[in-house]
Structures are given as structure tokens and as C-alpha cells.
């Protein structure tokens, strides 16, 4: 069974940092682009970052460039999102998704508040 399980969310103060993880199973992780997608309360989804199969290419939405870093460890079947300089507007449910968003995790909640 294909599974994506996110973790690492929580409550953080503005300016703080969090590292999200996504543990993958049920498919050959190293063969797929992967994404982080977030959904603010009551809003639609937003693609935040994308990473190529081997990690050699990454893409970010403008609002997180310079603050977020997507990475992966194919040996550990894991995807990561390092989030620095967090802002209130980063508050959202963060999902990892497989290439084309055909598979989603259940999400991990990030709340940025003082």
C-alpha cells in the first residue's frame, strides 16, 4: 500500500523554525518527483516546493524562497521541508505529495503564533 506520513508540525513563534518530514512506503521513492503542498484554514491548496527524483533540482513558490528548503534522502525513503523565519501567513496544514499529486499524506499542522 502506498503511504505518505508527515510529521514535525507544531506551534512556533514568528521568526522560528520547524523541520517537516514525510516518510514514504509502498513505492520506489527515488523514481518520483515529490512536493510539499500547504492548505491554510478555509483556503485552497498551494504548492510550496518541488524536488526532482535525485534532488538535483528544486523549485519554490515566491513566498517561501530563501526561507524554506526542500530535501530528500532516497536511502531513507524520506522527504523534508526545513522552514526558517516563519511568519503568521505560513500557518497551514502541510502535505507531502507524490509527483502529479496522485498520492497525498494526511498532513501535519504548522501554527505560527506568538
Q: How far is the CB of 75 from other proteins (least distance, A)?
A: 27
72 contacts: CB under 8 Å, gap ≥ 6: 29, 34, 51, 55, 78, 79, 80
Q: How far is the CB of 48 from other proteins (least distance, A)?
A: 8
Residue 110 contacts residue 91 (beta carbons within 8 Å): yes
Cα atoms in the Cβ-side hemisphere of radius 13 Å centred on 106: 5
- Sheet of 3-7: strand order equals 3-7, 18-25, 78-83, 68-73
Kindly tell me which of 60 and 80 has the beta carbon lying closer to other proteins: 60
Q: How far apart are CA 96 and CA 39, in angstroms?
A: 11
Minimum gap (Å) between residue 112 Cβ and other proteins: 21
Footprint on this chain of other proteins (rule: CB under 8 A)? 35, 39, 44-47, 50, 59, 61-62, 95, 100-102, 104-107
Q: With respect to other proteins, which residue has the nearer C-beta, 44 or 114?
A: 44
State which residue, 12 or 64, has the beta carbon closest to other proteins. 64
What is the smallest separation between the CB atom of 76 and other proteins, expressed in angstroms? 23
Q: Judged by CB, which is closer to other proteins: 51, or 112?
A: 51
Amino acid at each position: 500500500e502506498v503511504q505518505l506520513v508527515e510529521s514535525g508540525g507544531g506551534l512556533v513563534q514568528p521568526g522560528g523554525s520547524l523541520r517537516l518530514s514525510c516518510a514514504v512506503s509502498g513505492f520506489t521513492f527515488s523514481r518520483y518527483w515529490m512536493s510539499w503542498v500547504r492548505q491554510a484554514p478555509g483556503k485552497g491548496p498551494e504548492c510550496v516546493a518541488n524536488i526532482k527524483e535525485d534532488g538535483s533540482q528544486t523549485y519554490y513558490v515566491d513566498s517561501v524562497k530563501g526561507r524554506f528548503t526542500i530535501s530528500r534522502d532516497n536511502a531513507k525513503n524520506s522527504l523534508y521541508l526545513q522552514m526558517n523565519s516563519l511568519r503568521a501567513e505560513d500557518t497551514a496544514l502541510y502535505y507531502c505529495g507524490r509527483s502529479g499529486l496522485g498520492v497525498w499524506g494526511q498532513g501535519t499542522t504548522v501554527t505560527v503564533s506568538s
